[in-house]
């Protein structure tokens, strides 16, 4: 007995790292929006012929920015920016276009990684209009005064109660901290981006950013949330900030923690380093490789025009001052805020070229792809529609080498990238775009094609040009519904909201 909508994808080449299938030909049975075991009697299952095609789980974007006040500000500050062959894709698309573009790319789940607790309701109203994808938000709960107070008192139970209440009220999936303690420095008229992890927060006794990180990670672990503390550490974007990143990892090692957009936190240079701006990935990735409770997303930059938006208002202010562009600062009812500004990444800029090379160095030197999620920190480093280009950079060494050869000599000749020959396999690309982010996010029903998984499935045409292959799946299913085919939307079912606290 099968429900309407039961079908079998036959003869496809399966890439499903979670079940250990690496390019094996197999059938995938779907019934009731989920993947099911092969039935004794397959009559009644419609057939979808996938011979010669590649079958993967739907993509999961663990760190993106698609909703809330910062995204609206991004649309206002840069309405002229667009990308794509005919510049048809806005740098910050409408909520409807965001869902349609993600789905056409084979993605079926997205998280907005920075929503202030006070903006959660607005964000959910917007996300209710995001078609197709399942979606969740990470709450900036550590910006709240009461949370800071319990952190300062080292009141672990009180902290857990407050975080749980925030997640419940804001229907959040995870707790995010952006520049730990940064808003406290910012609001006391001090540069929020120039403190280290051991500077005491103004008005909070002996509380330091390091203690904020440690106590939050502990509380998130004690609450048993699906995703560990999501950490955007201090000094984002600043020369010499690799020291802060290393200290952050040292503080969190031994606990589960997720390090966001590490590319933006891996720079040498500044007053403490003798050399000029450059890559400090080597000591960081060495520590990361040796500490398996830590996970990361890269926040790759790609060349072009985009919009930066961050819960770290101080970083936005610094960047706007450095580049001479107008910026917007939100102050959300005394609860942290957000900085938004347009940004143009140029391959003629030594700084931008370093950022590009540093992101790729992280991808290629992190040994375990299961602890790595592919991201551009959309739209901060690049638009999510550039993921296929990024996947080609990872999986096609000659293509990457050619791109590196066009960069300024300071980067071309000094970046460790010039000596790295690793190419991501299809299986590894599958891991960093779906299997790993699903596992890191804590979504047992996502990122794989095993029995019981949501029938979120993407079918690609194999192509030596990986960018072309991943840019236009032949078919995309969301919970068993065909939503996109060859770049065309076929239906727009509503996605579900992923909330950590059951109601």
- Nearer to Zn ion by Cβ, of 311 and 369: the residue is 311
Residue pair 304/44 in contact (Cβ under 8 Å)? The answer is no
Stretch that binds Zn ion, among 160-168, 181-189, 240-248, 372-380 (CB under 5 A): 372-380
Stretch of residues binding Zn ion (CB under 5 A), selected from 150-158, 373-381, 453-461, 491-499: 373-381
Q: Tell the smallest beta-carbon distance from residue 374 to Zn ion (Å).
A: 14
Strands (E), 380-441: none
Q: How far apart are CA 212 and CA 378, in angstroms?
A: 26
| Contacts with 251 (C-beta within 8 Å, 6 or more apart), sequence order | 197, 210, 213, 214
The residue count for binding Zn ion (CB under 5 A) is 2
CB of 489 to Zn ion, least distance (A): 27
Q: Pattern 51-90, binding to Zn ion, x per CB under 5 A? A: ----------------------------------------
| Closer by beta carbon to Zn ion, 65 or else 478 | 65
Angle at 197 between CA 201 and CA 120, to 5 degrees: 65
Minimum gap (Å) between residue 85 Cβ and Zn ion: 27
Shortest gap between Cβ of 425 and Zn ion (angstroms)? 28
* Structural contact between residues 467 and 121, judged by C-beta atoms closer than 8 angstroms: no
Nearer to Zn ion, 45 or 138 (CB): 138
Question: 279-310: string of b/e by CB count within 10 Å (b at 16+)?
Answer: bbbeebbeebeebeebbbbbbbbbbbbbbbbb
The smaller minimum CB distance to Zn ion, of residues 62 and 431, is found at 62
114 versus 484: smaller Cβ distance to Zn ion: 114
CA–CA separation, 154 and 390 (whole Å): 43
Q: Return the half-sphere exposure (C-beta side, CA atoms, 13 A cut-off) of residue 238.
A: 27
Q: How far is the CB of 438 from Zn ion (least distance, A)?
A: 19
Q: What share of the chain is helix, strand, coil (3-state, %, to 5)?
A: 35, 25, 40
Name the H helices within 154-208.
156-170, 182-187
User: Burial of 79 by CB count in 10 Å (0-12 exposed, 13-18 middle, 19+ buried)?
Assistant: exposed
Stretch that binds Zn ion, among 218-226, 342-350, 371-379, 421-429 (CB under 5 A): 371-379
**Interface map 110-139 toward Zn ion (x if CB under 5 A):** ---x--------------------------
Residue 304 CB, nearest approach to Zn ion (Å): 18
Q: 152 vs 302, which CB is nearer to Zn ion?
A: 302
Nearer to Zn ion, 150 or 248 (CB): 248
Comparing CA positions, the residue from 204, 208, 203, 183 lying closest to residue 193 is 183
**Residues 427-466 interacting with Zn ion (rule: CB under 5 A):** none
Three-class DSSP category at 328: strand
Identity of the residue, 307 or 474, whose beta carbon is nearer to Zn ion in the bound complex: 307
DSSP string, 8-53: EEEEEEEEEGGGTEEEEEEEEEEETTEEEPPPS--TT-EEEE-TT-
Q: Which residue is nearest to Zn ion (CB)?
A: 377
Q: Which is nearer to Zn ion, 113 or 249 (CB)?
A: 113
For the bound state, the minimum distance from the C-beta of residue 377 to Zn ion, rounded and expressed in Å, comes to: 4
- Among the residue ranges 220-228, 313-321, 375-383, 394-402, the one whose residues contact Zn ion (CB under 5 A): 375-383
Least Cβ distance, residue 381 to Zn ion (angstroms): 9
Residue 377 engages Zn ion in binding (rule: CB under 5 A): yes
Closest distance to Zn ion from the beta carbon of 114 (Å): 6
Which of 372/466 has CB closer to Zn ion? Answer: 372
Closest separation in Å from C-beta 378 to Zn ion: 8
Tell me the closest approach of the beta carbon of residue 89 to Zn ion, in angstroms: 19
Cβ proximity to Zn ion: between 298 and 366 the closer is 298
| C-beta of 339 vs 473, nearer to Zn ion | 339
Nearer to Zn ion, 377 or 454 (CB): 377
Exposure of 130 in the CB half-sphere (CA atoms within 13 A): 31
Give the integer Cα–Cα distance in Å for 437 and 373.
5
Q: Which residue, 257, 379, 311, 330, is CA-closest to 142? A: 311
Q: How far apart are CA 411 and CA 275, in angstroms?
A: 13
Minimum Å gap between C-beta 333 and Zn ion is 21
Q: How far apart are CA 174 and CA 180, in angstroms?
A: 16
459 pairs with which residues across the strands?
Answer: 55, 475
Per-residue interface string for the shown chain with Zn ion, residues 94-113, x marking contact by CB under 5 A: -------------------x
Least CB distance from residue 376 to Zn ion, whole Å? 10
What's the full length of the chain, in residues?
503
Cβ-Cβ contacts under 8 Å for 72 (sequence gap 6 or more)? none
Contacting positions for Zn ion (CB under 5 A): 113, 377
């Amino acid at each position: 007995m099968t429900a309407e909508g039961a079908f079998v994808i036959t003869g496809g080449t399966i890439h499903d790292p979670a079940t250990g299938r690496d390019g094996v030909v197999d059938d995938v049975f779907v019934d009731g929006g989920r993947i099911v075991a092969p039935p004794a009697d397959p009559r009644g299952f419609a057939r979808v012929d996938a011979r010669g095609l590649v079958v993967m789980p739907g993509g999961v974007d663990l760190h993106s920015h698609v909703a809330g006040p910062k995204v609206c500000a991004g649309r206002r500050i840069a309405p002229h920016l667009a990308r794509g062959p005919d510049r048809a894709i806005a740098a910050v698309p409408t909520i409807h276009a965001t869902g349609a573009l993600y789905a056409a790319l084979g993605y079926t789940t997205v998280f907005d990684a920075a929503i202030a607790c006070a903006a959660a309701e607005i964000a959910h109203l917007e996300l209710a209009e995001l078609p197709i994808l399942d979606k969740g938000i990470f709450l900036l709960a550590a910006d709240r005064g009461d949370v800071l107070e319990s952190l300062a008192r080292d009141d672990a139970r009180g902290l857990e109660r407050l975080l749980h209440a925030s997640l419940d009220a804001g229907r959040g999936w995870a707790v995010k901290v952006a520049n730990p303690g940064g808003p406290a420095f910012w609001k006391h008229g001090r540069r929020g981006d120039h403190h280290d992890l051991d500077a005491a927060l103004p008005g909070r006794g002996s509380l330091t950013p390091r203690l904020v990180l440690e106590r939050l990670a502990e509380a998130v672990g004690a609450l048993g949330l699906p995703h560990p503390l999501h950490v955007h550490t201090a000094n984002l974007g600043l020369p010499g900030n690799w020291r802060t990143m290393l200290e952050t990892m040292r503080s969190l090692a031994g606990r589960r923690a997720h390090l966001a957009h590490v590319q933006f936190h891996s720079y040498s240079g500044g007053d403490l380093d003798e050399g000029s701006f450059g890559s400090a990935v080597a000591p960081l990735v060495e520590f990361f490789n040796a500490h398996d409770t830590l996970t990361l997303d890269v926040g790759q930059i790609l060349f072009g025009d985009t919009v930066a938006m961050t819960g770290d208002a101080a970083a936005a202010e610094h960047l706007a001052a450095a580049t001479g562009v107008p910026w917007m600062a939100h102050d959300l009812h005394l609860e942290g805020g957000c900085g938004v500004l347009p940004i143009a990444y140029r391959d003629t800029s030594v700084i931008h070229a370093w950022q590009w090379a540093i992101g790729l160095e992280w991808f290629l030197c992190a040994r375990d792809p299961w602890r790595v999620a592919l991201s551009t920190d959309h739209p901060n480093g690049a638009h999510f529609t550039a993921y296929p280009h990024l996947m080609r950079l990872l999986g096609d060494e000659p293509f990457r080498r050619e791109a590196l050869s066009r960069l300024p000599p300071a980067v071309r000749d000094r970046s460790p990238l010039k000596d790295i020959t690793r190419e991501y396999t299809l299986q590894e690309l599958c891991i960093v775009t779906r299997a790993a982010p699903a596992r890191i996010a804590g979504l047992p029903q996502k990122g794989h094609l095993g029995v019981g998984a949501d029938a979120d499935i993407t079918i690609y045409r194999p192509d030596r040009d990986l960018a072309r292959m991943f840019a236009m799946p032949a078919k995309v299913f969301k919970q068993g519904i065909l939503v996109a085919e060859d770049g065309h939307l076929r239906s727009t079912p509503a996605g579900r909201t992923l909330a950590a606290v059951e109601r």
